Structure 1
């Protein structure tokens, strides 16, 4: 899996509306347990609506429409995030989407 940059736009499996990636590595409560999702997103082009935040994993993506901006800072973030996933992140269960 190659983590997508913020600003990337995707279709989720079974979805018919585009989702823009706003965040990566969200740890949230699901069924009274902390779980990890690869991404936090919002409907495109509307953007963030606090009542419609979507948590999903890379495996939930059906199609990548646009890949967001990437530079040296993005590369560094991805490197550090992958290290975290392989260490501390291993102990956090992956969240499951309702797709």
Structure 2
């Protein structure tokens, strides 16, 4: 069981710890296969301003974020998604990937 996460909204631009490139959040709670097991992270991001390249997508968690440069759009729907995400984290058998 994971503790509750406050997800940053889509479109948020961050620096990761020890990172030198801005990353834009384009996905929340992605589940993917890693070494034969399903895992998830809090976010999927892309280099900013480069844009999307499927071979360059980054997966990271709240703990890896060093600085928020720009906070993306947030409304009632995104707040509701955050609540659902926290409920899912508490009930899922999928492991959170530790990075």
Give the TM-score taking structure 1 as reference length: 0.89
Secondary structure in 2 aligned to 1:2? coil
Q: Which of 42, 50, 72 is the aligned partner of 1:68?
A: 72
- In structure 2, distance between residues paired with 1:48 and 1:12: 18
| Counterpart position of 2:98 | 96
CA distance in 2, matches of 1:32, 1:61: 27
Q: Structure 1, unaligned stretches of length 5 or more?
A: none
Matches within 5 A, 1:1-99: 1-88=5-92, 91-97=93-99
How many equivalent pairs are there? 95
**Take 1:94 and 1:80, find their aligned partners in 2: how far apart are those partners?**
16
- The structural deviation recorded for 1:96 is 3.2
What's the C-alpha RMSD, in Å, of the aligned pairs? 1.1
1:38 Cα deviation (Å)? Answer: 0.4
Q: Give CA deviations for 1:16-66 in whole Å, capped at 9, x if unaligned.
A: 000000000011111221111000000001111111000011101111111
State TM-score, norm by structure 2.
0.89
Distance 2:71 2:79 in 1: 14
**Misfit runs of 4+, over 4 Å:** none
